[in-house]
Chains A and B, each alone.
Chain A
Amino acid sequence: MQEFDLVIIGGGPAGLAAAVAAKEQGIENLLILERENKLGGILNQCIHNGFGLQVFKEELTGPEYADRFINLVKEKKIRYKTNTMVIDLSKDKLITAVSKTDGILTIQAKAIILAMGCRERPRGALNIPGARCAGIFTAGTAQKFVNIEGMMPGKNLVILGSGDIGLIMARRMTLEGAHVNAVVELMPYSAGLTRNIVQCLDDYEIPLKLSHTVTNIVGKDRLEGVYIAPVDENRKPILAEEEYIPCDTLLLSVGLLPENELSKKASVKLSPITGGAEVDEGRETNVDGIFACGNVLHVHDLVDNVTEESYIAGKAAVKYLKGLRIQSDRIEVKAKDGARYVVPKYINPRNIEKSLDLSFRVKDIYKDHYLSVYFDDSRAIHHKRKIMAPGEMQTVKITSEMLNAHSLCSEISIVIEKE
């Protein structure tokens, strides 16, 4: 058995940034475990640009963004193992991993940062009826085929779900010579970033069918077509208006789920809304010394936000290792009226030096609404925002002054208000 002060599970942007932060704060004995043959996580297959505008103030591709951090990890001589899959984790921070070269690896860590990213929801999660033929892929699987292997999973497509990966793949497949018939979205709005709708669909005249869904899948061996139909306000398909679209491929971009199988084994408490851990301001979970950041905590649309969050987790883990984290008088943060969730869920005010960003998502599209933050019944923030959409993560800053002024408060809430 090996021992480490800090082990980071997952070598995507979250794990890398957390490792860099921890090393900068003076932790030497740390290790990153990554199951792929390369660090960088999902960014390795995101060859489009649009990464790094916040962190590096320039537009990078996914692999370029990842390389910046991989280089930092190498410069700082942070140890990592690739081709190593963590298969078990206990709440006492005992890790079991497996690889071809090490066989079964058991590691006792003093602190752990979970950075396993997320996975895509499959067809089964929607229970779409019809044929069970070849030609149905999640958008991420298709992205891997096209961007990493240079192979086309199909030439005539329908994409279900307007998440960012679906939008990006609509453009990618078009550029690679395929025809995209439509992107079909159940909700009356897209789950993706506005800039992706413009740059990936509008620029290529790919129709976005909002309030529509796939009702049936047709094909014997390979997909031959899909039926789509508009949905009513209860999201039930209006079958009378069903329409058949011949196609050889259906891509699913119907949501991402934080990959928390290991977290569950370690008794980490998960939020039913985000599917990620319930954490405090340092991204520490309910399990002492286990932290989480990046898409495993909640799904981010921008990698820059992942990086910021992971710095926080990396620094807090160091404080934990040095015995400097204070856990007392914690206040619960709640998402109310219009807000779907907020991260972090708890704040220990004495750990806040200057200020703290709360990340949250809204439930619907809100135009010219106010974002308010209440400390119990007292409203401390009341900002008008032009537009808030479920597809774009929002942040709001609360300061230590606010916390001091409401030092006896028992809950903080985020509310979306008309006025």
Chain B
Amino acid sequence: MHDVLIIGAGITGVSIARELSRYDLKVCVLEKEIDIAMGTTKANSAIVHAGFDAKPGTLKAKLNALGNSMFDQLSKDLDFHYRQNGSLVLCFDENDLDHLNQLLQQGEQNGVQGLMILDKAALIEMEPNLSDGAVAALYAPTGGIVCPYEMAFGMAENAYSNGVEFYFENKVLDIKKSNAGFTIKTNKGTYESKLVINAAGVHSDEMNNLVSDSKLSIIPRRGEYCVFDKEVGSYVDKTIFQLPTKLGKGVLVTPTVDGNLLVGPNAVDINDKDDLTTTQSGLDDILRRASLSIKKMPSHAIIASFTGLRARTEADDFIIGEVSDAKGFINAAGIESPGLTCSPVIGIMVKDMVVDMLKPQEKECFNPIRKGISRFTELNDEDRQNLIEANPAYGNVICRCETITEGEILSAIHRPLGAKTIDGIKRRTRAGSGRCQAGFCMTRVLDILSRELQIPRTEVTKFGGESKLLVGKNKEDI
């Protein structure tokens, strides 16, 4: 019997898990995929929003600036990359200046610090590569960028080290109220828990609807992106938004915390919650619209594209709290943007509810610190030399584009909640995320995974399930 069972190992679920790991509670996380952060958490804009966007009065507005303020300390404790680069909302039409001012006021109402309006001259001085069309901008110095999956690994590994159990490839199929709490059925087995927390992302409506008569309905809303080579990664320094107009919300251009350039997203409602395909029209559309913001779109430097799905509900706000007709079932549902930014506070909010219900003791041995994988490229030559002497695997470069060594890959596999797939290695180390997109390192990473996990090479997958890379030996079918 668990005290708390969390459905979903996205940033919401793992943030809650980490907060709960401060207490003497038996907590587990069930995740249908093979790894952490395989839902929306792996595919979004990765912006730590300042907080001017949300309508005052909503939960989003209440949590955003607060969440933002926690990133500095959190990124140090959990050793993930975060940079407060600041963001700009561009205004392209003098007639929209009122609207820009309203945004500033809204931000101040939401508790965002340091907002100011920049005129064209100040703007161009700050970002010389912006297009001539921009007439003014709202500047939010507290805006930041983060690697969302790296953050989720940090949260999850820390939660795990503090006692939270994780069960992967466990898809929750049914939830029944029982005397002591809930019985949760997955494709792998049955779990009992006093409380259940629903952090199932785009599927959180389905989980809610298993136990409650107040039905939720999530319509996945697709957002497509293009990622650009590091060669153009500093084309802009700030995150560049466009002031929403009658024509739409606009798309952003931003550096990523790892040094690439990111452009997107559009917004298209779709039916299939597992449909992560990109479309020609979508990619064309974001590139065209983003061109308004910058002088020249470096289209030659695109290295990848991807899709993320927003968990859009009718409420148009986060749904956080105990379900009234299913006591002990807590929703953290409909967590769309700025869900990543708010996740640390959502963790605390939900923890407070649990503490209220179960009155647990705080652990004495809770350790808030997690050490990430030492990145070879970020070290000086002396530290590199020491690292290689201690462990020669750090002298073997596996990914040529990002200079990722075998030592880092071994660490990714053998650390708590380690990588089991090619994508798992990629998200933990960046091997394969550079300009050749794994053309060079795929065979090597596959060999290392097979060797370290002691599985045949034909069993190594890209991201679990049937996503195998090799189908057999040569001439088998002749």
Q: Taking beta carbons and an 8 Å cutoff, which residues of A are in contact with B? A: 35, 83, 85, 87, 96, 98-104, 106, 119-120, 122-125, 127, 129-135, 137-138, 140-141, 144-146, 148-155, 176-178, 215-217, 220-222, 248, 261
Contacts and interface: CB of A to CB of B under 8 A. Distances in A.
| Interface size classification for chain B | 35 or more
A213 to B, nearest CB: 11
A27 B224 CA distance: 56
Contacts of B381: 96, 104, 106
Given A220-B274, A221-B467, A177 B303 contact: no
18 contacts: A85-B397, A98-B405, A103-B388, A104-B384, A125-B302, A132-B277, A133-B467, A134-B461, A134-B463, A137-B442, A141-B442, A151-B457, A151-B473, A151-B474, A152-B476, A154-B471, A176-B475, A176-B478
A120 B468 contact: no
Given A134-B462, A153-B471, A221-B466, A129 B396 contact: no
A103 B473 contact: no
B439 A127 contact: no
Contact of B305 (A127, A178, A221): A127
Contacts of A99: 395-396
Contacts of B462: 133-134, 221
Contacts of A222: 466-468
Contact of B474 (A124, A130, A150): A150
A122 B439 contact: yes
Contacts of A96: 381
A100 B388 contact: yes
Contacts of B274: 220
Tell me which of B226, B303, B458 has the highest count of chain A C-beta atoms within 10 A of its own C-beta. B303
A218 B465 CA distance: 16
B114 interface: no
Nearest to A35: B397
Contacts of A261: 401
- What does DSSP make chain A's interface, helix, strand, loop or mixed? mixed
Nearest to B377: A87
Given A127-B302, A152-B471, A103 B282 contact: no
A103 B384 contact: yes
B227 A144 contact: no
Given A103-B395, A104-B381, A127 B477 contact: no
A232 B120 CA distance: 43
Nearest to B387: A103
B319 interface: no
Nearest to B447: A149
A131 B276 contact: yes
Contacts of A176: 474-475, 478
B385 A103 contact: yes
Nearest to B306: A132
Nearest to B393: A100
Contacts of B474: 146, 150-152, 176-177
B443 A101 contact: no
B392 interface: yes
B389 interface: yes
Contact of A83 (B396, B438, B475): B396
B403 interface: yes
B436 interface: yes
A218 to B, nearest CB: 8
Contact of A130 (B277, B397, B439, B476): B277
A122 B436 contact: yes
Given A83-B396, A127-B305, A138 B467 contact: no
A150 B226 CA distance: 35
B283 interface: yes
**Which 7 A-B pairs rank lowest in CB-CB distance, beginning with the nearest?**
A122-B437, A177-B477, A221-B466, A100-B395, A134-B467, A134-B462, A221-B467
Given A124-B437, A155-B471, A221-B466, A215 B280 contact: yes
